[in-house]
Amino acid sequence: MTSAVLPTVAVPGGRVEYDDVPGDPTRPPLLFLHEGLGSVGLWRGFHREVAEATGLRAVAYSRLGHGFSDPPPAPRAAGFMHEEAATVLPALCDSLGLRRPVLVGHSDGASIALLHAARIADLTGLVVLAPHVFVEPVGLEGVAAARKAFVEGDLRRRMGRHHRDPDVTFGNWNDVWMSAEFRDWDLRAELPGITCPVLGVQGTADPYGTVAHVEAVRDLARGAVELVVLDCGHAPHLELPAVTTSAVVRSVSSWT
């Protein structure tokens, strides 16, 4: 199955593709939010593995401008993650009947999940893989390196396998992160609004951020927070799949 044949659903701004894995209708579902250059397909089946291990329904979707979803109606600004959390997620959950979900977010998707959890109390739990909570110099270095790989290397070609328009996908992520207005982006003041249980997973060799991000979630969120720190980079679920999947399944199963 390729992303090009997935169903789509209307959200503010256009239609997004999604993969809906059936599960126990009496238990809370899972909703997966991908990274800054990600899509449904680039989860590499992780959402399906967690669904199978837990017996839960799992939905993964590609944000506007990602995968084979519609392009965004306008170039993104520094508040695009706040907008996704406040407008797209509620509409998506309503349309697909996702009640009291567990959000599973990676990178930018984890930040969106944190913002949504801070505003919506009716969540069962929250898993954040390599979240961004504030702008860190090492993270900006990683973003600059990605631009170099896109312009001078083969990143654009590789992205073309997974996105309808890799230039739009890359620009709407990289341009925001490299902009002057994004330097003051910081979610720490909003984290006390999170009351659901949280699992935070972070790699010690992540080129986009340090453990300070998951530690901020632990220190500021009001729900119970468990941290798992691993010897890996920015994608724990792909680099150390066994240990990451085990931690996620254990937490999700205890919450549901």
Residue 105 β-bridge partners: 33, 128
pLDDT tens for each residue of 70-129: 999 999 999 999 999 999 999 999 999 999 999 999 999 999 999 999 998 789 999 999
Rounded CA-CA distance 51/150 in Å is: 33
Rounded CA-CA distance 165/121 in Å is: 36
Rounded CA-CA distance 98/117 in Å is: 14
Neighbours of 53 (CB within 10 A): 15
Average pLDDT over residues 32-56: 98
pLDDT tens for each residue of 177-232: 999 999 999 999 999 999 999 999 999 999 999 999 999 999 999 999 999 999 99
Residue keyed to tokens 């990676």: 106
Categorize the per-residue pLDDT at 3 as very low, low, confident or very high, splitting at 50, 70 and 90.
very low
Whether pLDDT at 8 is above 80? yes
Q: Tell me the three state secondary structure of residue 193.
A: helix
Output the pTM of the full model.
0.96
**How confident is the model at residue 4, as a pLDDT?**
52
